[in-house]
Amino acid sequence: MNAIEMESSGTSQDFKRRLRISAGNMQQIIALLPLFSPQHKGTALTFFSGKGLRVLTPYLMIICLITSAILAPSSTLFTSFLLLQVSLYGSVAISVLIPKLQSIKLVRAFTYLIVGHTANLIGGLRYLIGLENGVWKRLPQQENEHEKG
């Protein structure tokens, strides 16, 4: 038996897919919250590093941005961190508006990363406030080529 996953190729469909995945991750975190307990040893570590950090990363990125902004006036190091973060996020925003810029490999990689974390943040929040249920939609079944003939 073969399983075929039909993946959307458009940017809009990809973002919607990421929203659903994020909502599902948030749903799993809530449903399996006891797995974070140290009594579960390796399972707790695996669950935290796999699901927990994935859900937390966008919030940690926001905290880093805010902290850099607060500390920037007191240190050139934090001013540099703030400028770097704002430049990165600004570059990604511009590359989303002007997709041709994503032909540059580094821009494409950062765009994929930041857009993914943005979808993660939005999908998780949508799940928490009840706007996203994490339910997958089935595509119409297509005839398997092996069954044709």
**In terms of residue numbers, what domain contains 123?**
56-135
Is residue 51, in this structure, part of any structural domain at all?
no
Residue 50 confidence (pLDDT) = 87
Residue 10 confidence (pLDDT) = 72
Residue 8 confidence (pLDDT) = 53
Per-residue pLDDT of the chain (149 residues; tens, 9 = 90+): 665 656 556 777 888 888 888 898 999 999 999 988 989 999 999 999 988 999 999 999 999 999 999 999 999 999 999 999 999 999 999 999 999 999 999 999 999 999 999 999 999 999 999 886 656 566 566 555 455 54
Is residue 36, in this structure, part of any structural domain at all?
no
Is residue 72, in this structure, part of any structural domain at all?
yes
Residue 142 confidence (pLDDT) = 54
Residue 66 confidence (pLDDT) = 97
Is residue 83, in this structure, part of any structural domain at all?
yes
Task: Count up the domains in the chain and report the number.
Answer: 1
pTM above 0.85, yes or no: no
DSSP string, the chain: ---------SHHHHHHHHHHHHHHHHHHHHHTGGGGSGGGHHHHHHHIIIIIHHHHHHHHHHHHHHHHHHHGGG-HHHHHHHHHHHHHHHHHHHHHHSGGGGGSHHHHHHHHHHHHHHHHHHHHHHHHTTS---PPPPPPP---HHHH-
Residue 13 confidence (pLDDT) = 84
Residue 123 confidence (pLDDT) = 92
Is residue 86, in this structure, part of any structural domain at all?
yes
